[in-house]
Structure 1
Amino acid sequence: MSWQAYIDNLVASRNVDKAAIYSRAGDSVWAKSAGFDLSTSELSEIRSGFENSAGLQAKGLHAQGIKYFLLRADDRSIYGKKGAEGLVIVRTTQAILLAHYPEGVQPGEATKIVEQLADYLISVGY
């Protein structure tokens, strides 16, 4: 399966409206939804948040120029929320999955599908 197919499947679930897969180092994008672009500084902020969430707690989580309230951050997952929308970000062995869920989607449903994809990627060495 191509990397883009993983993104397309996430979006097809209707629990996510846009997503991207970056290398764990954050130096390349493997696949993404059209128009779902993060700046270098936003990606760096996210990568740092997996190691130490203090910066995200103090300044918030940013994606596409939008500030999200940090709900959770640990060495595997980062969750953010802005109103009824949110972000689910999960780090695997070799990748970082970023997914945005829109208003009307239950956060738990979006989280479940992204975390399941991460589990699968980890199980096959990614």
Structure 2
Amino acid sequence: MSWNSYIDNLIAHSKDASGKCHVESACIISIDGGTQWTTAGANVTPITPNEAAEIAKPFKSCDFTSFMVGGCTISSTRYQFLREMDKKICLFKLKDHGSISMQSSKTAIVIAKCPEGGQQGNANKAVAVIAEYLESLNM
């Protein structure tokens, strides 16, 4: 199975009424340790194993204090924490770097990068489509 096709689907779901995409890249990691499900590609957000592991820990424990205190790092860029919702959604932003939307399912975390000037709401909805689909598969 190619998890990268889920990224293409996610990006397509981020389009607004005019057809503009609000996700420039995304990735899927395991909630158990941060193992990367998606592989390198044009639309895949580059994330180091250490960054993925540090993202997985709060989702696994449902304790987002580390995000609140220190944000999260993706592609060597530290994003500031905005908010957490329902113990499974986390949002981040960094001026001039855009925003990050994350949502967990039972076994995975779907992560999308919204470019500066993009609509994070569209990115959030696109991430939710994939995370909820995985959840429906008991994943």
TM tier, smaller: 0.7 to 0.9
Q: Mean Cα displacement is larger for which, 115-124 or 20-29?
A: 20-29
Partner of 1:3: 3
RMSD: 2.0
Q: 1:29-80 deviations in whole A, cap 9, x for unaligned? A: 2214526222233222212222211111111211111111101135211110
Paired with 1:27 and 1:80, the residues of 2 have a C-alpha distance of 18
Q: Secondary structure, in 3 states, of the residue corresponding to 2:106?
A: coil
CA contact (8 A) 2:26 2:110 kept: yes
Asked if 1:76 corresponds to 2:88, the answer is yes
Listed as ranges, the matches of 1:97-112 within 5 Å are 97-112=110-125
User: Which structure has more strand as a fraction of its residues?
Assistant: 1
Selected match of 1:20 from 18, 27, 32: 27
Q: Secondary structure, in 3 states, of the residue corresponding to 2:33?
A: coil
Number of residue pairs aligned between Structure 1 and Structure 2? 126
Paired with 1:108 and 1:76, the residues of 2 have a C-alpha distance of 16
Partner of 1:87: 100
Paired with 2:112 and 2:75, the residues of 1 have a C-alpha distance of 12
Asked if 1:59 corresponds to 2:70, the answer is yes
Identity %: 32
Asked if 1:46 corresponds to 2:55, the answer is yes
Partner of 1:29: 36
Q: Which consecutive residues of structure 2, in runs of 5 or more, have no partner in the other structure?
A: 15-20
Q: Are residues 48 and 21 of structure 1, via their aligned partners in 2, closer, same or farther at CA, if it must alter by over 3 Å?
A: same
